[in-house]
Amino acid sequence: MKPAPQTPPPADADARKAVAPVVCYPVDTLPPPDMDLYKRARKALEKVEEIFVQPRDANTFKVPAGHFFRIISIEGPQVGDLNLWAQGDLTERFYSGKTRALHGTHLGVGDRMWSSFPYLRPLATITHDTLDWYGFNEFGGAVHDVIGTRCDPYTGLLLSGDDYHFCCHSNLIRALAAETGLPPEQAEPHVHDVLNVFMCTGFTKDTHQYFMKASPVRPGDFLEFFAEIDLLGALSACPGGDCSAEHSSDMAACYPLKVEVFRPEKGALDGWMPPVPSAYCGSHGL
């Protein structure tokens, strides 16, 4: 709980509070994804690869630009933490904060995963979600959030004194190190805030603290993306399972996840081009 206010309210406190909010980043002028094109392209897809992610572990995968990939629940309710980078350039990575500012706290079909400065371009676009029926529940929770970070051993040690080595942060480090050949201490700075796939989260109405509740995901559910550029991804199967109670635990029931990569038919994306990095040139004046 937050401490009680120490400062008495001014005479115009109610008037100050009553000022209407303004959306920080109106997206009316944001170039929209061509969802009709993606819809046509996904009618005939050839699966070219599948990658399994074991419980309390992570794995990497690559997706060429113009391909689709799916994160799939295959055995039981399980959430996953997703990192994305541009292939060959770990400095261009998923920017969860800017994605949240543009699209909101939870992502759905038509939303895009934006990359970090100075690139600021779409890495991937969500094209299908079998959980889109869920919406927001009575607690203000929804799935696929960009408000949490990832479970990590540093916070666990801070709050409980435990040394736990299978947090999503640690899993993602090991997976990235194995993929790139970087030592873990050099891979760690590249691991970033995630898209919490299938995780059901929100903020409590009284203290506005980040909460989680049992994910509605079931075997067969999937979240599908279109790769806007050549991608390197890493996915961790969270040690909290469906995150109904804990998210860093050897006690929770955990299940594997699967990533499938699909190639559309030749000609299905005629006219489509990968997005280019931001045209902003202000670095010369900094």
In the block, residue with structure tokens 């299940």? 255
210 has which bridge partners? 203
pLDDT at residue 1, as a whole number = 66
Domain membership of residue 118 (yes or no) is: yes
Report yes or no on 167 lying in a domain.
yes
In a domain, 240, yes or no: yes
The residue among 281 and 50 whose pLDDT is bigger is 50
272 in a structural domain: no
In a domain, 42, yes or no: no
Q: Would 138 be classed as within a structural domain?
A: yes
Q: Is there a domain that residue 37 lies in?
A: no
Is the preceding omega at residue 184 within 30 degrees of 0, hence cis? Answer: no
Domain count, the chain: 1
Residue 229 included in any domain: yes
Q: Domain range for residue 176?
A: 48-265
Which pLDDT belongs to residue 286?
Answer: 55
CA distance 282 to 286: 7
Contacts of 267 (CB under 8 A, 6+ apart): none
Model pLDDT for residues 90-126, shown as the tens digit of each residue: 999 999 999 999 999 999 999 999 999 999 999 999 9
Are the beta carbons of 236 and 81 closer than 8 angstroms? yes
Reported pTM: 0.95
